[in-house]
Amino acid sequence: MTGPLDSARPAWGRLHAGLARPGPAMFALSVFGAIYTAWFFGIIGREVGSAGYDAFAYWDVRLDDLYGRSMGNLTAFGAFRYSPPVAMALAPLHGFAWTDFFWVLSCLLVGTLAYLGGRWTLAVLAFPGIAVSLYEGNIDLFLAASVAVGIVSPIAWVFPLLTKPTMAVCLLWFAVRREWRALAVALGATTAIVLVSAALRPDLWTGYFAMLGDNARLPTGQELGPLWLRLPAAAILVVFAARTDRPWIVALAAALAQPLFGLRSASVALGAVYLWRHRPVGARPGPRGAGDPRALGPEASPPDLRVPTGSGPP
């Protein structure tokens, strides 16, 4: 039996195949993306003066007063708002010079952008949020890569869960598809890291939860609604993605589930580009796995060529 979603699959396949081929639209977006990024870095960025704004918080981690600059505000320079395990991992990097740290981080971000975008790299730069994220040195692109890789390697979800816990809504992808082992890997690895860090520095976790409670009471001014409204919408998207085998939609849900939804959220959604590019046209992988011919639907199952017992050529 087929439904409206099944009948729509050929159209999705044609759209995927069309976008996968270079054409005038991609060329135009690539040119615009390159020009816009050069303009932003060369003119707008310098006027605003926010180069490395977020990266500085990752470099200047002070475990003796980890969340002091994060209390009572949402935008303070140098404010660190991620979980204690992330802080404990970043703290030793303060021994490097700030400029060296920022340049290495920038190279990693550009490399991640190229990995996710592929031949579309210049084209995706046409979306303003990505240039902003690169200029400020935010982890948005790392989050996008975690979503893209996490679909097939659930251990990659550790990073989003420790930095932006609201992205845990994306794990509904595994639950809906009954991929319990993948879900256990993502949650189990994260829990293990949390328990070890809590045993080593319980005081950091006390400060972390105090910071979350303090920041939750502050007005955000988000144009697309508060987090309590966006999270259910993100959950609906993930469930839809899991039931229709469209993993790229999970990346869109991840962007919607960001604690603060702003211009840079487009960078988190970049994982959708990677998942779209690597999605086999017409394939319908399910919980059975891509190697099972039944995962492609009954129409893809090989015909039964066995000769019935007792019968032979006429």
- The residue ranking higher by pLDDT, 311 or 138, is 138
Lowest-confidence pick of 67-81, 100-114, 200-214, 295-309: 295-309
CA–CA separation, 296 and 74 (whole Å): 47
Using CA of residue 167, residue 168, residue 174, residue 175, what is the dihedral sign?
Answer: negative
pLDDT band at 297 (very low <50, low <70, confident <90, very high): very low
Whether residue 109 is contained in a domain is answered as yes
- Tally of domains within the chain: 1
Tens digit of each residue's pLDDT (9 = 90 or more) over 230-285: 999 999 999 999 999 999 999 999 999 999 888 788 899 999 999 988 874 433 44
Whether residue 147 is contained in a domain is answered as yes
Whether residue 5 is contained in a domain is answered as no
Instruction: Give pLDDT, residue 197.
Output: 98
Instruction: Give pLDDT, residue 299.
Output: 40
Question: What Å distances lie between residue 190 and 76, 168, 173, CA to CA?
Answer: 28, 11, 17
What average pLDDT does this structure show over 287-297? 41
- pLDDT of 39 > 60? The answer is yes
Whether residue 8 is contained in a domain is answered as no
Whether residue 302 is contained in a domain is answered as no
- pLDDT of 192 > 90? The answer is yes
pTM score of the predicted model = 0.82
CA–CA separation, 250 and 187 (whole Å): 17
> CB–CB of 254/269 below 8 Å?
yes
Q: Residue 183 is part of which domain span?
A: 33-282
Whether residue 4 is contained in a domain is answered as no
pLDDT band at 296 (very low <50, low <70, confident <90, very high): very low
Tens digit of each residue's pLDDT (9 = 90 or more) over 108-124: 999 999 999 998 999 99
The total number of residues written for the chain in this structure: 314
| Percent share of the chain, pLDDT over 70 | 81
| Closest listed residue to residue 234, CA positions, set 206, 261, 202 | 261
Whether residue 272 is contained in a domain is answered as yes
Tens digit of each residue's pLDDT (9 = 90 or more) over 55-109: 999 999 999 999 999 999 988 999 999 999 999 999 999 999 999 999 999 999 9
Whether residue 251 is contained in a domain is answered as yes
CA–CA separation, 53 and 128 (whole Å): 17
Instruction: Give pLDDT, residue 264.
Output: 81
Tens digit of each residue's pLDDT (9 = 90 or more) over 163-182: 999 999 999 999 999 999 99
Average pLDDT, the chain: 84
Report the half-sphere exposure of 215 (CA within 13 A, side-chain side). 22
